Amino acid sequence: MNNQFKAIVINNTDDKYTASVQTLNNSELPNLPVKLDVLYSTLNYKDGLAITGKGPVVRSFPMVPGIDLVGKVTASDSSEFAIDQLVLLNGFGVGEKYWGGLAQQAAVNGDWLIPLPTSLTPKQAMQIGTAGYTAMLSIIALEKQGITPDSGDILVTGANGGVGSFAVYLLNLLGFTVVAATGRVDQSEHLKQLGASEVIDRNELSNPGKPLAKERFAAAIDSVGSHTLANICASLKYGGVVTACGLAQGMDFPASVAPFILRGISLIGIDSVMRPKVDRIQAWQRLGELVEQSYLDKISTEINLEQVINAADELMAGNIRGRVVVNCQQ
């Protein structure tokens, strides 16, 4: 571990919000039990909000953004992790409450880490990132509720987004029939290549609807919320299941109890931030078994720390599609 390291640092002093690449001393790292050399991180939408100041993501300053990372342990007071071990972190408030992954070094709690699955390289894990992890948690939740490829069509909303596109891809690999809902119908071909058998316009779901609609979907993975989630509930088949893992349309849920008590549907909340370790290990093991390198290379671009701030502006302007992987040691 070098005495100095580069990091993206966000400050808010005298009502002036800034983000810059700085050189820090490792004595400035938080006093937490596991120290890491960060190999790869990513630029997520939440990181874009934090770096540009366009959303109230950061809880304290100065802050190093980056909500996920893969690193190599350089010092450890935890019996669980040894020096030179490769570890993976996503969630637990890093990049918001605690210094995150967009730096060459990090200090974290051992409880936040899991061993990097042997089936994944550090770069592959960050090509998957929180988006793929959240999609996998949703799929595991559907499976636990008894949903199988024979159950019927599975709806994925926000299908061109990070979680949605991963969900389409993973469900197809597992043999499910996928209906993708998107606001970018002109990109239907891309979604069909990922494995969607049908693409629908999100406007079919995003307006106020009836308490009960025609039974259409066996299950759904929803990253949109609001009227969309309410209309999904109204359109599920008897015993259907929907996972809620996002709120792109809104936090409100203008729904009726009718489909719950008349069709026995289930609504499962997906938390990807404070997840118990056993769930994290299971989801990442499954991802390591399923995801193909060719797909990861197709959906991701690699940048270094010096390029992160410009990339955050581009991300917030809607000019980036797919995953942005950050090589923190380059």
- For residue 266, which of 232, 215, 300, 305 has the smallest C-alpha distance? 232
Q: 4-116+293-327 with 130-269: one CATH topology?
A: no
Distance CA 60, CA 118 (A): 35
pTM: 0.94
CB 42 within 8 A of CB 68: yes
So what's the pLDDT on residue 161?
87
| CATH code at 4-116+293-327 | 3.90.180.10
CATH ID of 130-269, from 1.10.460.10, 3.40.50.2300, 3.30.70.980, 3.40.50.720? 3.40.50.720
So what's the pLDDT on residue 1?
67
The structural domains of the chain, with segments of one domain joined by +, span: 4-116+293-327, 130-269
Which is it for the CA torsion 273, 278, 279, 282, positive or negative?
A: positive
Tens digits of pLDDT across the chain (330 residues): 678 999 999 999 888 999 999 999 999 999 999 999 999 999 998 999 999 999 889 999 999 999 999 999 999 998 899 999 999 999 999 999 999 999 999 999 999 999 999 999 999 999 999 999 999 999 999 999 999 999 999 999 999 988 999 999 999 999 999 999 999 898 899 999 999 999 999 999 999 999 999 999 999 999 999 999 999 999 999 999 999 999 989 999 999 999 999 999 999 999 999 999 999 999 999 999 999 999 999 889 999 999 999 999 999 988 887 899 999 999
Q: Which residue has the tokens 């118990």?
A: 276
So what's the pLDDT on residue 15?
84
And the tokens for 15?
Answer: 């009502």
